[in-house]
Structure formats: structure tokens, C-alpha cells
Amino acid sequence: MPYNEETIKRMLPKTYLRKHVAHEIYVALTHFKYLEPMMDTYVYNDGTTKVLMSLTGTIPVMYADKTYNIPICLWVEDNYPQTAPICYVKPTRDMMILRGKYISSDGKVLLPYLQEWKHGECDLVSLLQVMAATFGEFPPMCMQQPEHQQASCWLQFSREAEVLSKTDGSLYLSLAKEDGRQGNETNC
């Protein structure tokens, strides 16, 4: 479904700065075509819930001279742009999160750009560009090894990466282990 600013604005509750948020989301969608805006329920750490705008889908990430589609979800709270979006990588069933410097074990994105968010200087397109660049250097997920339900993957990315393609044509990374042993550096 093609989205224009007016369509996005109508999706947003009146608690949002509707014109500003709709414009930013529209611009983000023109740069990242595989994201979709939707209102959905977000569950906070304390168990409370709130219906928020989200951008869900994939962003293209360059790694080892190939493009990979990394599934993400950005939650835009109603006090945006004063506060940064809440961002997660959302692995498919056959993928696993690589916890590290910029990704928590539950897939929450922990970029300095988010932590140092400044209203008027930061925006959704820049955030998505920072995510794509960072994920190109520090992949946030990998393919699970088929012989293990809870396979583990290594945090060093200087190892050989195997490109795997899905039936929808998208590509994902599977990182080889350094010595062939079953490691346990990161349980995902």
C-alpha cells in the first residue's frame, strides 16, 4: 500500500504531533521502501501497554560487499520527536540475535545516536541510516545452524560469512565458527 503524508497523519492519534511525525515517516518510507507504518500495541518493561506508531519491515545493510535485509521495528512514542524511537531488530524464526555493543539479548538497538537523541537535530531517516551503517560493521543477527534448535554464534565478524537466501529472495548472513567447534559465546 503506498502511503502519503495525509494517510499516515490519519493513522496517528491526536496525542502525536501528527503533521511533523507523518512527514518524517513519509520521508523515511521514501528512503527505506520495505518499511510499513502501523499502529500496534507496545509492551513496556513494567508490563504496561500503549498503542504506538511503529515502522516495521527490513532495511538494506551492506556487509562484505553484499546487501542483506535486516528486519527491524521502530516504535515512535507520542512524545516524539522530543524522545528517540524505541528500536529493535526482529529476527525471523531461523535467525538469531547477536548480542553485542549495539544490540541487547532481546534485540533492542542500543546505538549512541538513540542515547544522545536531540530534538531538532535527529530524525527517523538519519536514525535508519545510522542503523544500516552500524549493522554493516556489527551484524545484529545471523542464521541459526540447522542441526541445533538453539545454536550459538560468535561475536567476532572477521570469520567467513555464508550468504543464505530465503524464498522471498532476501539474503541473510550465517557466520562460520572459528575452529569448527560448537561455541557458546552467545546464546540466542
Which domains, ranges and CATH numbers included, belong to the chain?
A: 5-141 (3.10.110.10)
73-131 pLDDT, tens digit each: 999 999 999 999 999 999 999 899 999 999 999 999 999 999 999 999 999 999 999 99
- pTM, entire model: 0.77
Burial of 155 (0-12, 13-18, 19+ CB in 10 A): middle
Q: Name the one residue in this structure whose C-alpha cell is 520521508.
A: 27
pLDDT digits (tens, 9 = 90+) for 24-68: 999 999 999 999 999 999 999 999 999 999 999 999 999 989 999
